[in-house]
Amino acid sequence: MKKLLLTIILTIILSFVSEQFLPWWIIAVVAGLVGFFLNMGSFKSFVGGFLGIFLLWTAYLYYLNVVVNGALAERLAALFSLPNSIALICLVGIIGGLVGGTAAMTGSLVRKL
């Protein structure tokens, strides 16, 4: 459990920092490395990587769109035919989470070689 929590926290912090100046897919590298070094089971690694990116992305989007200004999330939700901006934010979070999760899982699988 401790390792899982550590995976999530490390993924969040390292992704947040690297995403400031690197393209979006750097999250796969970050989650993969965290998965590799923390060396949990492949399913747990997936959950850790998924939650790390999902939480980071949704929290940041929540801040931008609820605290700063929600106009864009509403308009983009309409553009993609989603019911509301929360649905859009969750969808973006899941997309990032899937990438983070598979990358972390792959990291742990490579470690086991």
What is the nearest approach in angstroms of another protein to the Cβ of residue 45?
10
Residues near another protein (CB under 8 A) are 19-20, 23-25, 28, 32, 42, 56-57, 60-61, 64-65, 68-69, 71-72, 75-79, 92, 95-96, 98-99, 102-103, 105-106, 109-110, 112-113
What is the nearest approach in angstroms of another protein to the Cβ of residue 2?
24
Q: If you ran DSSP here, which 8-state letter would residue 83 be given?
A: S
Query: Of 10 and 88, which has the nearer Cβ to another protein?
Result: 88
Query: Of 1 and 68, which has the nearer Cβ to another protein?
Result: 68
What is the nearest approach in angstroms of another protein to the Cβ of residue 59?
9
The residue whose two tokens read 């399913």 is 43
Query: Of 2 and 20, which has the nearer Cβ to another protein?
Result: 20
CA 90-94-98 angle, 5° bins? 175
Q: Name the residue among 14, 54, 56, 6 with its Cα closest to residue 31.
A: 14
Tokens in use for 61? Answer: 């989007």
What is the nearest approach in angstroms of another protein to the Cβ of residue 55?
12
Q: Cβ of 83: how many Cβ atoms within 10 Å?
A: 9
- What span, in angstroms and rounded, lies between the C-alpha atoms of 85 and 32? 30
